[in-house]
A and B are shown apart, each in its own frame.
Chain A
Amino acid sequence: MSSINLTLKIWRQQNSDALGRLETYTLDNVNTDMSFLEMLDVLNEKLTKESKDPVAFDHDCREGICGMCGAIVDGVAHGPEKEVTLCQLHMRHFKDGDSIVIEPFRSRAYPIKKDLLIDRSALDRIIQAGGYVSVNTGGTIDGNAIPISSQKAELAMDAAACIGCGACVASCPNGAAMLFTSAKISQLALLPQGQVERKQRALAMVEQMDKEGFGNCTNAKECEAVCPKGISIRNIARLNREYLLAALTEG
């Protein structure tokens, strides 16, 4: 364990309507065993004591699973470490004297509510459009009635691991939500339970994606590079196939 001194440049914006700007703060003696969010906690305690407004940021589980945290750190969503969320990034990856720029996830579809805190409800609406199997509670068949190969189940699980943090959108030059949407479409397309609604699902989710103002995919692959759960862009290829097939036969 050691400690480092940092200069932080943080996006401050009072609310959706206000203009934002980067503010500079110095923070000394940052213990390198801290997580990035704990470092922000310490900054906020300091700001509070100085009678300044603490930085608003979203977080909850602090274990990398709820998908609530996230910010652009030095230009990269969730910071410099691969396959971690911001809450799982530790300060040992920074050096004494570093200057760190911290901004919110940006996208046309993500209004900034305050500082680093944004509105990602567009992602919820994509799921609402069809990211599920339409079964009511009760009256389902026995869990073992339909065998599923363990390989299929594992592939579905790879896609299902998405935490919905939205880093993919914020990193895409086109602001596309393809990785997010394709993860859910893939999971359900791979499993027998998802077959009945397979086509409507692809059409409805893609339509909602467009409605929310997300952009198109041009294979920049930035989404995959920043995804804290390592969701593969192969899922986007699958989404494209699913969509095409559905559009050709249903549309």
Chain B
Amino acid sequence: MELNARVPAGPLEKKWDTHRFSNKLVNPANRRKYTAIVVGTGLAGGSAAATLAEQGYTVKAFCIQDSPRRAHSIAAQGGINAAKNYQNDGDSVFRLFYDTIKGGDFRAREANVYRLAQVSTEIIDQCVAQGVPFAREYGGTLANRSFGGAQVSRTFYARGQTGQQLLLGAYGALSRQIHAGRVKMFNRREMMDVVVADGRARGITVRNIITGEIESHEADVVILATGGYGNVYFLSTNAMASNVTAAWRAHKKGAGFANPSFVQIHPTCIPVHGDYQSKLTLMSESLRNDGRVWVPKKQGDTRLPADIPEEERDYYLENKYPSFGNLVPRDVASRNAKEQCDLGKGVGSTRLAVYLDFADAIKRDGEATIFKKYGNLFQMYQKITDSDPMKEPMMIYPAVHYTMGGLWVDYDLMTNIPGLFAIGECNFSDHGANRLGASALMQGLADGYFIIATSVAHYLGTNKLDNISVHDQAFIDSKRSVEDRIAKLLKNSSGGPAGKFTVDEIHKELGKLMWDNCGMARNKEDLEKALKELPAIKQKFWDYVYIPGDTKEINQSLERAGRVADFLEFAEIMIRDALTREESCGCHLREESQTEENEAKRDDKKYSHVSVWEYSGEDAEPKLHIEPLSFENVTPSQRSYK
């Protein structure tokens, strides 16, 4: 596997300009002769499909949901970063770049991150022009807030629905191109395979979710914008259909998978309340600005929070990290919550929760002030849990939230398969080992609106592509392999469900294995144990999974089974990736790699690199490749929050 990042030469601030100038272009009159497939219509895919069509390319866009407007991006709440420096508080492109690189614990490529910061300002202009109703100051200018511990106010927002409004902006642009006939939209399609012919990505194989038909689609380039894989843990804050299937199938066709073990675990989610639970709900991080986190000092204390006197409470974050207190970064807050619960001090019926208490803030600022700040969130919490945070402490627990790992891409966002691009959360490119709040939306739109079209033009301008048709052998083979796999999934079903397992039962088992052993704190022993236990779960799935119904109809159990089958394969490289990275970095504590004060210890000598996995066949061990990272414009520093 060849990993050439193709980072342009020259000084950091000039790279993107130089690159755009030296890249090949496609004459406007010729563009419509080229077809681009875009899989996914979230922020990344929606913006990419619209932009490519505006420029004149023929575009086919695909999504799982019944409408492109429903992609998982819709759920993002907090906001989107941009280096506008509207607040005149010292922000700049370089500062946003620096914060992102540092936030990622120096595990991302400088050039990509710098470009992200550069184009961030154009994103805001674009969205405003589309009619995105961002929050405004009384004078009519755009409002900003500081988010996720940033020292400048650079986050733009539309109430608590920023992702929704940005996505609807992109959906509008996409709808306009659908209307103009330049984008053909395929809703309710699930991509099952990338078709590679003569070493290039030339199309995809999809399942029509309504008819069950397996369809082939050809193109000159294929762009994956299929989001993150957090659902490998079963429970996460991701939407139910979020999956690794598209990325994993690309991986099996030769695309490198980078840093699969880099997963972000968000500290403030509503705790699990029962084994029927289907997903976890995020509560905004801003709550930690006024809430105090605590657990009872005594293990197994079942008293109501109000009955636990002050001196018997442990405000563990404030005690352990006096200067940051409750505002320590996500990973530190998450890890400590888990640690308290593991010590038997968890609260609530499952004992897997800690308190987030607003009583002191209410005493200090008054009920009205606190309610004005957090009323929305409190109501949402109350709707779900039936408990009022104005009266009793909230309960929170960490949950899987975002995946920094993804398909390996070069500076052009192209995977190592020529003609196959990956944008948005499904690539690995910008967030290193930890993503800053409000930066995923920024990256999705940067990739889709401002970067991918340059890459596509360059690829088409430099390569002569053969004519292709869906009747070619590569398409026929791909279709057959997809059909065979579906038949294999359904093979246990004839004998009825007795003695068998449902898809969800096995998915939950996988999720537990990953959460317990490949979550926020990891060690060699547990990871090796997980690697040993994984094949048995996989075997159980293939031997005993029971899927009702048929393939030539709407079959939601079959859809889920296909995704779980891929998660089961993918989990292996996650665990292996975690195992080989014997350092703590970003979101993850590697228990063997700690400072004397039990804080995360990064090891730049050995691990200042991207780990890229190559698929080597069904029963063969995956191969690890390395893309070394070099830092010429920033000096990697160790984090400290004490």
Contact = CB atoms under 8 A, between A and B. Distances in A.
A65 interface: yes
Given A137-B47, A140-B125, A144-B142, A34 B75 contact: no
A37 B278 contact: yes
A194 B131 contact: yes
Given A61-B74, A68-B66, A124-B175, A150 B137 contact: yes
A158 B134 CA distance: 12
A193 B130 contact: yes
Contacts of B179: 128-130
Contacts of A72: none
A88 interface: yes
A133 B502 CA distance: 47
A113 B70 contact: no
Interface in A91-114: 92, 113-114
B66 A58 contact: yes
Interface stretch (B197-205, B364-372, B546-554): B546-554
Contact of A137 (B385, B450, B557): B450
A131 B175 contact: yes
Interface in A132-164: 132-138, 140-144, 146-150, 152-154, 156-157, 160-161, 163-164
Q: How large is the interface on A (under 10, 10 to 19, 20 to 34, 35 or more residues)?
A: 35 or more
Given A140-B126, A141-B125, A142-B125, A191 B274 contact: no
Interface in B555-582: 556-557
Contacts of B278: 35, 37-38, 41, 62
Which of B124, B133, B273, B548 has the most chain A CB atoms closer than 10 A to its own CB?
Answer: B133
A221 interface: no
A235 to B, nearest CB: 14
Contact of B67 (A45, A51, A121): A121
Interface string B56-88: 000000000111111010110000000010100
A144 B141 CA distance: 6
Given A68-B65, A124-B69, A144 B129 contact: no
Contacts of A199: none
B66 A135 contact: no
Nearest to B386: A92
A137 B51 contact: yes
A210 interface: no
Contacts of B66: 58, 68, 119-121
B51 A150 contact: no
B302 to A, nearest CB: 15
Interface string B355-398: 00000000000000000000000000001111000000000000
B171 interface: yes
Nearest to B84: A143
B172 A133 contact: yes
Interface stretch (B102-110, B159-167, B523-531, B629-637): B159-167
B258 interface: no
Interface residues of B, number: 79
A38 B239 contact: no
A136 B139 CA distance: 28
B384 A157 contact: no
Contact of A34 (B126, B274, B279): B274
Contacts of A9: none
Interface string B254-271: 000000000000000000
B137 A133 contact: no
Interface string B127-160: 1111101111111111100000000000000110
B175 A48 contact: no
A65 B161 contact: yes
A121 B67 CA distance: 7
A53 B557 CA distance: 10
Interface in A20-42: 31, 33-35, 37-38, 41-42
A188 interface: yes
Interface in A169-218: 187-188, 191, 193-194
Given A38-B277, A164-B69, A153 B172 contact: no
Contacts of B557: 48, 54
A60 interface: yes
Given A33-B386, A60-B72, A150-B140, A120 B548 contact: no
B136 A150 contact: yes
Contacts of B172: 127, 131-133
B134 A153 contact: yes
Given A137-B51, A137-B450, A61 B72 contact: yes
B176 A143 contact: no
Contact of A160 (B74, B126, B133): B133
Which of B140, B450, B549 has the most chain A CB atoms closer than 10 A to its own CB?
Answer: B140
Given A38-B276, A53-B549, A133 B131 contact: yes
B343 interface: no
Q: Give the 8 A-B CB pairs with smallest separation, nearest first.
A: A147-B140, A132-B172, A140-B129, A150-B136, A156-B133, A143-B128, A128-B179, A157-B133
10 contacts: A1-B273, A49-B502, A66-B65, A90-B384, A128-B179, A133-B172, A137-B50, A142-B125, A147-B139, A149-B140
Interface of B: 47, 50-51, 54, 65-70, 72, 74-75, 84, 86, 122, 124-131, 133-143, 158-159, 161, 164-165, 168, 171-173, 175-176, 178-179, 187, 210, 239-241, 273-274, 276-279, 281, 349, 383-386, 449-450, 453, 496-497, 502, 504, 546, 548-549, 553-554, 556-557
Given A150-B135, A157-B159, 19 more contacts: A31-B274, A34-B276, A45-B502, A51-B548, A60-B241, A62-B281, A63-B281, A66-B65, A66-B74, A68-B66, A68-B70, A120-B67, A128-B176, A133-B131, A137-B450, A138-B126, A143-B134, A143-B142, A161-B161
